Chains A and B, each alone.
Chain A
Amino acid sequence: MTTIDKPRIALVIGSGSVKCAAALGLMKVFEREKIGLDMVVGCSGGSIYASLIALGWSVQKATDTTLKMWTREVTAKRNTRALLQLALPWLVKFDETFGLIDDSLVNRRFREGFAGATFADMKIPLFVTATDLYNGEQVIMSEGSVAEAVRASISIPFIFPPHKVNSRYLVDGFQSDPLPIGVAIKEGADIIIAMGFESPYQDRITSLMRYNFQMSSVTSNNLLKTNYAFHNLAHHSEIIPILPEFEHKIKLFDTDKLPYVIEEGERAAEKQLPFIKGLLGI
């Protein structure tokens, strides 16, 4: 085995809505063990926690911020224009800004939650991924407003309108890679801690939205597996998967389950800790 004197450690947090808060549990373990990170990469829900971790905030402050930002209210207000685009397309022209939910509240929540932070303010270098609506490319954001980047990264298809950043319409990061390990490889990471989640499948498909979610899950789970395989084979060093298990179903806005999610993240990290420490020689 080739030894690396001081391996660069990356944490990659994939898409998974509230489940991504498990990364805070992992950070509790890493902080206790004094394992530092050289970069954090986040996608979709994972971009929220990647940003909170990169800011260097405590687990408690990160949890409190999530509880303020991500509540059911952010999807409560329908986007009237989108409804008209569907019902009366000859009257209200359909375009790339379509999204069933009015995103003004979530935009405000992110701006307030991240308190105007930019990538330059991060204690740990941060990379947030989204997907270009027009050509499908993965877009890696590492400068400018963190709130804008996170908002773009969580543009769930049909739900939130694509978000315009630097004249590109960006949709959810999971659509190009639900677990963007490639970003960490490209940025020169050696040891990559990859926390990923498979998208849940619907028990029954009883509405157009459930059908939409199901199709998203089918595609993104297959994308997750193919990309994960490729990255594992392409990387020169170690990719350590941290895959928390949840006995209870965690839905998009189950923020009341945050303590449980964080605990499961902590448990999953503890399980891999002996190997990580062995790899780091500590």
Chain B
Amino acid sequence: MEIIDKQVDGVTILSLTGSIDAMTAPQITEFIQAQIAKGNTKLVADLKGVDYTSSAGLRVLLGAIKETRAQSGDLRLAGIQPDVQKVLNLSGFTNILKTFADPDAAVASYK
């Protein structure tokens, strides 16, 4: 899993490449925790490079959503690929989080 972070207008964009699953979950959680510890609670996960998410991946996303929202921030998703979208739909995650076609739109939504 490759994670690259970038600041745009006070929002942290995390560009992820690979799968979000049990094998990569600890790395992603650690990365997000570090961002939150730095006070970066307005997050956008750019999932353009993510081809798969499993139950462990969903738990990572949920943990990040709860933690950022508890600190007046949020985790918003962008660039979701069809296979990941299917899992997010099936698990009802699209009912509780905001999704956007691309990171720019997700960043703009924080204004």
**Residues of A bordering B, CB below 8 Å:** 1, 196, 198, 224-226, 228-229, 231-233, 235, 237-241, 243, 271-272, 275, 278-279
Contact = CB atoms under 8 A, between A and B. Distances in A.
A275 B55 contact: no
Contacts of B90: 196, 198, 224-225, 228, 241, 243
Contacts of B52: 272, 275
Nearest to A191: B22
Tell me whether chain A's interface is mostly helix, strand or loop, or mixed. Answer: helix
A235 B55 contact: yes
A233 B54 contact: no
Given A235-B55, A238-B54, A239-B55, A226 B23 contact: no
Contacts of B25: 1
25 contacts: A1-B22, A196-B90, A198-B90, A224-B90, A225-B89, A228-B90, A229-B91, A229-B92, A231-B55, A232-B55, A232-B91, A233-B58, A233-B62, A235-B55, A237-B22, A237-B56, A238-B55, A239-B54, A239-B55, A241-B54, A241-B86, A241-B87, A243-B86, A271-B83, A278-B23
B67 interface: no
B53 to A, nearest CB: 9
A146 B52 CA distance: 36
A275 B91 contact: no
Given A225-B92, A243-B86, A275-B52, A232 B59 contact: yes
Which of B23, B54, B93 is the most central at the interface, judged by chain A CB atoms within 10 Å of its CB?
B54
Interface residues of B, number: 21
A185 to B, nearest CB: 11
Interface of B: 19, 21-23, 25-26, 52, 54-56, 58-59, 62, 83, 86-87, 89-93
A228 B58 CA distance: 11
A240 B54 contact: yes
Nearest to B87: A241
B86 to A, nearest CB: 6
A247 B87 CA distance: 19
A235 B57 CA distance: 12
A250 B91 CA distance: 23
Contacts of B91: 225, 228-229, 232
Interchain residue pairs A-B with the least CB separation, the first 6: A239-B55, A232-B55, A229-B92, A229-B91, A225-B92, A232-B58
B56 A238 contact: yes
B23 to A, nearest CB: 6
Which of B56, B62, B87 is the most central at the interface, judged by chain A CB atoms within 10 Å of its CB?
B56
Contacts of B21: 238, 275, 279
Contacts of A225: 89-92
A275 B19 contact: yes
Which of A226, A229, A232, A233 is the most central at the interface, judged by chain B CB atoms within 10 Å of its CB?
A232
Contacts of B55: 231-233, 235, 237-240
Nearest to B53: A241
A105 B89 CA distance: 39
Given A225-B92, A228-B90, A229-B92, A1 B54 contact: no
Contacts of B56: 1, 237-238
